[in-house]
Each structure stands twice: as C-alpha cells, then as structure tokens.
Structure 1
Amino acid sequence: MGDRLLSPAARALALRCEPKVNELARHMAREAFESLPGYSQLPDDVKDIEVAATARYGMRQFLRRAGDGDLSDGSLRLFRERAAQRAEEGMPLHLLLRSHSLGMYVMWQALRDAALPGEEAALAELVDCLLGIQHHVVGAVAETYTDERTALDADARAQRRSVIRGLLDGVLPPGHVLLDELCLDGSAVVLALDLADPAEGPVAERRRQRRMQSCLDRAFGKEVAALFDGGSGRAVVPTAADPPADLAQQLAKAGGATVSVAWSRAADPVGIPEAARTAAEILRVARACGLPPGLHRMEDVLLEYHLSRPGPSAHMVAALLDPIADRPELLQTLRTHLTTRQDRRATAAALGLHPNSVDNRLAKITDRTGVELSSPRGSALAIAALLLRETAVGP
C-alpha cells in the first residue's frame, strides 16, 4: 500500500464513515453478499460472526488508518486466517474472492453516500487508496487459500492412497469408514497394469499417471480408486460390469506406452485382496507366456495359470530346464516355439532365423533336457517348466 499523505478533507470523510462500520458489516453479511452464488448455503453463525467480523476488521483498518493519514501496510493476519478456515471448510475460492471484491464495493458506496458537495476530490482520494489496498488483500487471501487447499488435497490424496493400498493388500480392517467413500459395498473389478515403456523423469510420470487415471474414470464412468507406481499400477472398481474390451488400448493411448491389463472379480470387499493377487498373477503368467499387450482374464491363461502353481513337485518340473539355463538363445527359442503353438515357420520369423535353425535348436533342447517337445506330454512339461521358472517371484 505504501505510505500516503492524505488531505484533511479525505481524513475527515473517512472518520465520518467509521461509526457506520457495524451497520455496514451487518449489511454485507446479511444482504449484499446474498447475491453471491453459494453464499446463502453458509451457516448463519458463519455469516453473523466470522464474515461480519472480518468485514468490520477490514473497514476499521482502512478508515482508521485513513483518518490518521497513515495508509502504510496493515496487518493481513485476520484475512489470512479466515482464508485458511474457508479453504478447510471447502468454500469455493471464487466465492471467497467475490465477497472481498463486493465488500470493497460496499465500502465505496458508503464513502460516496457520506461525501458532501465539494468533497469530490476527497472521495476520489479515498477510493484511490481503497483500490490500492484491494490487490494486497485479495492477493493475500488467494495465496493463503491456495496454500491451505494444496496441503489439504495432498493429505486427502495420501490418505486415499493409503486406504486403497491397505484394501488391496488385505490390511484394511473390515468395515473401515473410508470404504464408504470408495462406494465398495458389493461386487468389484480389480485391475493389475503393466506399462512397457518408462516415463522420462518424475514430471512426465506424474502427467502420465494423471492421464491414465482420467482414462480409467472415463472407461468405467466413475472415479476409480487407482494406485500407480512407475511402470505398474493397481485399481479397484465397484461395478458389476466387466472392463471394456479395449481398455488396454485406451490406457496405451493415454499413457503413451503399450499396456497390459489383467483383471479379476471380487464378489464383495472381503474378496478384494485375493482378487488383487489373482490379477497380478494373471498378468505375470500372460507376460511369461509371451502374450501381446492387451486385456487379460483368467480364462485367457487358464491352463498356463494352473501349470504355474507351486506345489511339492514344482521345483522338480522347473529343474527340467536347468540343462539349458546357460543357453538363453535356447530358452528364447523354446518360449517362442510354445507361444506360436509350435509353428516352426512362425517361430523362425519371430526370431529372425531360418526354419532349419529352429529345428536344430529344438533338437538341442530335447537332447539336453530329455523333454520330447513333439509330444503333448512333453509340450505340457515344457510350458509348466518355463512358467514355474519365470513366475517364481511371488506377488
């Protein structure tokens, strides 16, 4: 605001208005502000006590300092405190700023009505000061409100992520009050996501996560509870419908990377942790089987899922491929051969080899492992061994 030297006429006009402060504050709180969108919904005690008190404080600060001829920067503490309170209560910022702007207008009207003929210059002087003060007040209010809202939103997001993580990991107590906020009271779809390409830096990663969150919300027509961690993600959706068939393509477009999505269904909130583990396993098995990016369900990898389950004989089955563990090209050939349903030409094309080279590699695999790949039993053993080796790390 800066120091100003006011004329005696301007100071006299300001002092003449000061006795009207209480009346003006009531007028602002109960009449003038009622025209603002959403103001009528505020509790009466907020209007009569806090809004009126803030208006009185602001007007007295201005009129007394003007009456003393000193308009140096005054305390903005109360304005900041009220702005923080309104942010915590959820009042929209536009309503808060409009109330301050309208309050300045009411102050101008009071000065105008109190001005006598011949005091036009004094009135202009005070209005000039009033407008100079306004941007300081509005700036302080907006800054405090935004800082408080940012902190509150960050706390809310952290709490929400904690609830979602606890729910998916099975450590959230049944009946937790925050489950109501997620609308989880019936069947739910649980998703596991895997992105092929990492984002270029933390800023790009946050932007990608926001786009993918928006994509999930649009795909299911509601706010989806999702967690993203670098190139992976998990989500739970309260819905009886299956995910859209093109969900992976939608997410790939939003995230700028190829996406694999696996899903499983929970009949109720209690079953969500198990569904999350199942979705993660489906995704892992699909990846181990060499399935292309897309939307995967249990039915798509049912045999492979079953064969990859650990058990008393699992280590023995996995050990069948130990003789070629030091030959990655043989393991890759076996994996590709099984993925292409034992089509030697398709295997050769995928690996950039001649079909005869594929035959030679397959013969070496059989010689070293004793697994006859041309028989149904040998193929099943090879699939199970590969899956057990490549899905050995638990969720």
Structure 2
Amino acid sequence: MALSPAARSLAARCEPRVNELARRMTRESFEELPGYAELPDDVKDLEIAATVRHGIRLFLRRVEDPDPVPPGSNNRVFRERAAQRAEEGMPLHLLLRTHAVGVYVLWRALRDVARPGEEAALVELVDALLESHPGVVGAVAETYLDERAALETEQRAQLRSLVRGLLDGMVPPGHVLLGELRLDGPALVLALGFEAPPAEGPVAVRRRLRRVQTVLDRTFGVDVHALLDADGGRVIVPGDLVAPDDLPHRLSRSSGLHVRVAAVPAEGPAHITDAARTATEILRITRVCGLPPGLHRLDDVLLEYHLSRRDESSHRIAALLDPVADRPELLETLRTHLAHQQDRRATASALGLHPNTVDNRLAKIDEQTGIDLSSPRGTALAIAALLLRDSEY
C-alpha cells in the first residue's frame, strides 16, 4: 500500500533516532519484562539491540519504498535471532513480548515527532506498523518452536543413547552426564512387561507409553529414565528408592494391560548393567513359571533363578521335556500346576479344565518324561527344565 508524502516525511524524521530508540528499548522498555533483566549484557547490547535496529530500519525502508517483496524475505534476521534465543533457552513469551513492546515504543516515537496537522499521516504509519507486525511475530514464533522441537528431539535421542549404554554396560561410571541425570549414585532398575499387548498402530503405542511414563514419574517423584516399546522395556529410577507394591496396578490402570514388573536395586552406576540383566531375567522367570503379573523381586524367585543358571548339565536338564515338546497343552498344564503350588483344583480352575483332566495330563508328563512331579526332586527338575528350555529360544 503506497503511503502519502506526509507519512513518508513523518517516518523520515525518526531515521536519525534509530540508535537512540534501540538503546531505549533494550535498556529501559524491555527491562520491565519478567526475566529480561537476567539476560547477559552482551546479549542485550549487541544481539537484541542489533535486531531492534534492523526492525526499525526495515519498517522505515518499507515506508519509503512500499514495493512488494517476496513473502518472508524481510524476516530472515528475525528468524535467525529467534533460533538463537531458542537455543539459549529464552522463554518464548519473553521473546514475543520484546517484539510487542518494540512496536509500542516505535509508535510512541512516531507520535512524539508528529506535528499538528499530521494526524492522518500518523494513522497511515500506525496502520502500516500494525499490518507488518503479525508477519514478524508469526515468523519468530514458528522458527522458535521449530528450533526447540529439534533441540528437544536431539536431547531425547542423546538421553536414550546414554540410558541404553548405561543399561548395556557401554557407558563408563564417571560419564559427565550422569550427575546431571542424577544417575551418579544409587538407583532402582525395573524391567517391565506388558502382557498380551494388542496389535496397534504407532500412535496408539506412543500414547500408552506416555501414560506409563507419567505414572512412573509421579510414583517416584523424579524424572524416571525409561526405554519402552509395545512389549515393555527397562527403566532406571534415580535415587535410593523402593518400588511400591501397587506399582503394577497403577501401570495397568494407565495402560489398560496387565503389567509385570521386576525390581532390582543398584548401588551405583557401575552396578546398573548387572541389575538390568537380573531384572530382565526375573521377568523371564516369572513368565516361564506361570506366576501372575505383579511386582517381583529376586527373593520372590530365588530358587527358580538359581535353577535357571546354565552350566555343562543345562542342556541335559532342558532335554528332559523333549518328549512333550510337541504337546503345548501339556507344557502349559505343567507350568500352571507349578505356579499354583501343585494344587490340582487351582490348576484346573486357571486352565478352565476338570481336575481329572489335569491329573491325566500330569500323568502323561510323568510317563513320557520320567519326571515324578509328586517328589521334591521331580518338582525341582521340572522347574529347572522349563527355565532352561525357555532360555534356549
């Protein structure tokens, strides 16, 4: 929109005051904004002041030469500065307020140099000023948010890499980031298993995992570091904390699935890898032994854990169940029977069978494998065979 000669003449009288206006904004007007006073002096006096001078001169040039330019071409400097402020961590509200206050200060400067009879010219300039402001603010906000999203994505990737390396034994205990993440002291390592997760798209899975993460953070009152997927995952809880008994229930309510949790404390970062291996093994053992979802610690499966350790005899013990390997219903009955303390009625109820059917299946296992489930030795052999057999696959 072409401006009148009177409007251009009025704007030209502000040209000599550009540096003064920039100093006033950066050292007076912006100081009233919450958080601005804490910024370093060099940022105020150099970068922000330069941006202010660029903005004022850009407006004055537009007044002088209103020929249209390619959309957004005049916003390059604003975008660059917005990206810098995002990287430095300046709050977006503070950045946008500086632009809003800058427009107001410029309007006051135009008003102060206006002479009687130039009211119409002043209105033209204010109209042009307000017309250009949304484009600048939009470019600033868009660039800031894009930069913050990119930075946060990079930070999350670095955090996941560090946590994964710590769990897998690839991060030295003295790593510089461990202190920032509160992982330079004791921690609690969890292994999570979601029972029978449904086949879902990635969006639904991410939503479920966000809910699980929220429950973990709220339960322990700290930022919990989790590596989760649709089936479960591993978690590091900073500090000398204990998992509450109802943690699986809380996670089940948030995820809509039955959740199995294994918890192992680690004295320090050097012990996290071993604790993660132990927690993962506890989770596997509880599944193999048919234990219901819930919170499990090493003491809960101490015998089973010991029996599942591999040595030169392991393959022979695992082979004891080879005769019934093609009978999954017999293996499931055995697993359920052991999980229910060899109570035939409880086993029958869990499997939806008649107790006599359970007896018949157990008799077939005894007959085909030679394992006497009525004896302590036979029970121990059956548990060990199930555990060792599962670990082979």
Q: AA paired with 2:371?
A: V
Name the CA shift for 1:199/1:191 in 2 (closer, same or farther; >3 Å): farther
Name the CA shift for 1:259/1:205 in 2 (closer, same or farther; >3 Å): same
Q: AA paired with 1:9?
A: A
CA distance in 2, matches of 1:130, 1:272: 59
Corresponding residue SS for 1:180: helix
Question: How far 1:391 moved relative to its partner?
Answer: 2.8
User: Is the 8 Å Cα contact of residues 15 and 64 (structure 1) preserved in structure 2?
Assistant: no
Q: AA paired with 1:134?
A: H
CA distance in 2, matches of 1:71, 1:57: 18
Q: 1:96-135 residue pairs with structure 2 within 5 A? A: 96-135=95-134
Aligned to 1:285: 285
Q: AA paired with 2:20?
A: E
CA distance in 1, matches of 2:360, 2:68: 93
Aligned to 2:317: 317
Aligned to 1:362: 362
Aligned to 1:10: 7
Aligned to 2:19: 22
Corresponding residue SS for 1:333: helix
**Residue by residue, what CA displacement relative to the aligned partner does 1:58-105 show, whole Å, maximum 9, x if unpaired?**
001111221335465651111011001001111111110110111011
Aligned to 1:64: 61
Aligned to 2:152: 153
Question: How far 1:111 moved relative to its partner?
Answer: 0.9
User: Is the 8 Å Cα contact of residues 289 and 387 (structure 1) preserved in structure 2?
Assistant: yes
CA distance in 1, matches of 2:89, 2:13: 38
Question: How far 1:275 moved relative to its partner?
Answer: 0.3
Unaligned segments of structure 2, at least 5 residues: none
Which region of structure 1 is more displaced relative to structure 2, 122-131 or 233-242? 233-242
CA distance in 1, matches of 2:79, 2:116: 38
Question: How far 1:199 moved relative to its partner?
Answer: 6.1
Aligned to 1:388: 388
Question: How far 1:262 moved relative to its partner?
Answer: 0.4
Which region of structure 1 is more displaced relative to structure 2, 152-161 or 58-67? 58-67
User: Is the 8 Å Cα contact of residues 62 and 71 (structure 1) preserved in structure 2?
Assistant: no
Aligned to 1:186: 185
Q: AA paired with 2:185?
A: G
Corresponding residue SS for 1:285: helix
Q: AA paired with 1:354?
A: H
Question: How far 1:203 moved relative to its partner?
Answer: 1.0
Corresponding residue SS for 1:240: coil
User: Is the 8 Å Cα contact of residues 173 and 184 (structure 2) preserved in structure 1?
Assistant: no
Which region of structure 1 is more displaced relative to structure 2, 141-150 or 191-200? 191-200
User: Is the 8 Å Cα contact of residues 198 and 231 (structure 1) preserved in structure 2?
Assistant: no
Question: How far 1:198 moved relative to its partner?
Answer: 3.9
User: Is the 8 Å Cα contact of residues 344 and 358 (structure 1) preserved in structure 2?
Assistant: yes
Aligned to 1:95: 94
Corresponding residue SS for 1:75: helix
User: Is the 8 Å Cα contact of residues 78 and 140 (structure 2) preserved in structure 1?
Assistant: yes
User: Is the 8 Å Cα contact of residues 11 and 69 (structure 1) preserved in structure 2?
Assistant: no
Question: How far 1:230 moved relative to its partner?
Answer: 2.3
Question: How far 1:12 moved relative to its partner?
Answer: 0.7
**Residue by residue, what CA displacement relative to the aligned partner does 1:161-204 show, whole Å, maximum 9, x if unpaired?**
00000000001123111111211222111011111214621111
Aligned to 1:32: 29
User: Is the 8 Å Cα contact of residues 18 and 64 (structure 1) preserved in structure 2?
Assistant: no
CA distance in 2, matches of 1:380, 1:256: 35
State the 4+ residue runs in structure 1 displaced beyond 6 angstroms.
none
**Residue by residue, what CA displacement relative to the aligned partner does 1:258-294 show, whole Å, maximum 9, x if unpaired?**
1111011111110110000000000000111111111
Identity between Structure 1 and Structure 2 (%): 67
CA distance in 2, matches of 1:16, 1:67: 12
CA distance in 2, matches of 1:69, 1:375: 97
Question: How far 1:299 moved relative to its partner?
Answer: 1.0
TM-score of the superposed pair, with normalisation by structure 1: 0.96
Name the CA shift for 1:250/1:305 in 2 (closer, same or farther; >3 Å): same
Corresponding residue SS for 1:76: helix
TM-score of the superposed pair, with normalisation by structure 2: 0.96
Name the CA shift for 1:251/1:159 in 2 (closer, same or farther; >3 Å): same
Q: AA paired with 1:23?
A: E
Q: AA paired with 1:254?
A: S
Matched residue count: 390
Q: AA paired with 1:297?
A: R
User: Is the 8 Å Cα contact of residues 165 and 171 (structure 2) preserved in structure 1?
Assistant: yes
User: Is the 8 Å Cα contact of residues 37 and 95 (structure 1) preserved in structure 2?
Assistant: yes
Q: AA paired with 1:342?
A: Q
Unaligned segments of structure 1, at least 5 residues: none
CA distance in 1, matches of 2:59, 2:302: 76
**Match for 1:51 among 34, 42, 48?**
48
Which region of structure 1 is more displaced relative to structure 2, 252-261 or 53-62? 252-261
